[in-house]
Copies of this chain bind each other. A is one copy, B any other.
């Protein structure tokens, strides 16, 4: 299977081993470990690879440095260009800065200032071009010809793919018992490199890719299905409409299946990683664990290596994800209570809630729009309980006191 599966592919194990040597000094190995608690939650043995702990907080440095290191002196002098508002931008800008290669990063207009600033701080020139990613890519291609720059593609490049593949070399030596790998897919660079390395070293390993239901582009390309891509996904890092051509071939050859995860599944995975592993994963970084949780039977009894590909998530978004998940778990509930519009009723309700051990987070009154009498009002209340049963208790106590609760 080894020879057959990886023969003829544009990247070889040897390229990846060489990439590991190339990036060794400037990209420290990331930690990996078995998680007892996540294994219990998922019903299989879970091993985690913390790619969120790179200096720029994603795996992208591996490929970026391998590509930059492959440039000739003449090419380095010409300078490079990359199009990304995310992890690829950071990875390229950081290592180009280190290697003193002039770097231009094209980002779409309206990219949050923070991301622009981070990239500039590494010494790169940031050009804001185009209303969306598609237009920004076009603008970057114009710069390649206008300014004679070298394009550093985010995924469809053998040097990038070989660089990303160094992850599997590390992971399989840190956790040799792994028999299954689960890896997120955007353009497909990460899973391509890692599939080649892993299949070459362990022909029997099973590899699953993960995409979001909003952007099943590689899923469609590999299965020959027509799919639609679009929508605001929390997993920006893998919200890619156009999968790579090189990566598509590698994935078709080596990846067993591509699993699609929903937004709530990804959100739950982010919160679980935060609560149990004390680690911050971005949406794409939490997608692989989400896929395992959503496909328990498939993974039952397996020793599953999960790649947490990155940790760059906006803090307000993270705060929102936490609250939404608490709402889904029933720990935060929104109640609407019919009350008479006269003094004392809020106090009564608040007393019942607090005596039941609930915590009131928000209160609103609706006097205008309800089906009750003009002397009545609806009291909206957001309460926090210890868990979903406790929330039920609080509700029951209100009802026992004669309040109508919706």
Contact = CB atoms under 8 A, between A and B. Distances in A.
Interface of A: 31, 36-37, 52-53, 55, 57, 110, 112-114, 271, 274-275, 278-281, 311, 315-316, 318-320, 322-323, 325-326, 331-332, 357, 384, 386-387, 390
A315 B271 contact: yes
A387 B315 contact: no
B278 A57 contact: yes
A326 B316 contact: yes
Contacts of A271: 315
A331 B317 CA distance: 13
B52 A275 contact: no
A114 B388 CA distance: 12
Nearest to A50: B278
A224 to B, nearest CB: 38
Given A36-B55, A316-B384, A319-B322, 9 more contacts: A31-B31, A271-B315, A275-B280, A278-B281, A279-B279, A315-B326, A318-B319, A319-B319, A319-B320
A281 B279 CA distance: 10
Contact of A113 (B319, B325, B384, B387): B387
Q: Could you tell me the dominant secondary structure of chain A's interface residues?
A: helix
Given A36-B55, A279-B279, A279-B280, A315 B112 contact: no
Contacts of A357: 110
A315 B275 contact: yes
A114 B275 CA distance: 12
Listed from nearest, the 3 A-B pairs whose CB atoms lie closest are: A278-B311, A278-B280, A113-B386
Contact of A332 (B275, B316, B323, B384): B316
A157 to B, nearest CB: 27
A265 to B, nearest CB: 18
A113 B326 contact: no
A390 B114 CA distance: 11
A355 to B, nearest CB: 11
A114 B386 contact: yes
Contacts of A114: 386-387
25 contacts: A36-B55, A37-B55, A52-B278, A57-B278, A112-B386, A113-B386, A113-B387, A114-B387, A271-B315, A274-B280, A274-B315, A275-B280, A278-B279, A279-B280, A280-B280, A315-B325, A316-B322, A316-B326, A316-B331, A316-B332, A316-B384, A318-B319, A318-B322, A319-B319, A319-B320
A403 to B, nearest CB: 24
A111 B114 CA distance: 40
A31 B48 CA distance: 15
Contacts of A280: 274-275, 278-280
A319 B311 contact: no
A110 B359 CA distance: 12
Contacts of A52: 278
Contacts of A36: 55
Most buried by B among A112, A274, A281, A384: A274
A215 B318 CA distance: 30
